[in-house]
Amino acid sequence: MAQGPYSDKVMDHFMHPRNMGEIEDASGVGEVGNPACGDVMRLYLKIEDGKIVDAKFKTFGCGAAIASSSMTTELIKGKSIDEALKLSNEAVSEALGGLPPAKQHCSVLAEDALRAALEDYKKKQGTA
Ligand code: FES
C-alpha cells in the first residue's frame, strides 16, 4: 500500500536500506553532493577481476536519496565495470517503482556517486 508520493519500494529501501556502511579497503570511493539540497552520498566499491563484488553506501540526505543509494548497491553487485557504467538514474528510479518529479535528482546523486567511485577505481588502477 503506497502512501504519499512514494512507492512501497522507496519506503522499503528507505526504512530498511540495503548495504549501508563503508568498505574499509574499498577499490573505489565516490562522494558527491547536491549543493541545492545539501545532501551528500558516499559510495564504496570492492572490485575483483573487473567485477563489483561488494558495494556499500553512506548517505546524509533525504529518504529518496537513501532509497536510491540502497537500490543502486543492489543493482550493481555482481556487475562488470562496463555494465555498472551503463546504470542510469532512470533505471534506479524505475527499480524503485518511480520517484516523484521533485525527487528525481536524488537518483541522479546515486548515478553520480557510482560514476565517481568507478573513476576513483580507475585512477587507482592507473587506467583513467
Ligand atoms: Fe536532495 Fe533528495 S532532496 S537528494
- pTM beyond cutoff 0.85: yes
Is the pLDDT at 2 greater than 90? The verdict is: no
Model confidence over 53-107: pLDDT tens digits?
Answer: 999 999 999 999 999 999 999 999 999 999 999 999 999 999 999 999 999 999 9
Separation of alpha carbons 110 and 87, rounded Å: 10
Whether the CB of 106 sits within 6 Å of ligand 1 = yes
**pLDDT value at residue 128:** 67
User: 67 alpha carbon to ligand 1 midpoint, in Å?
Assistant: 11
Please tell me which residue in 9, 18, 20, 37 is annotated as part of the active site. 37
For domain 8-120, give the fold. Sufe protein. Chain: A (3.90.1010)
Separation of alpha carbons 47 and 26, rounded Å: 8
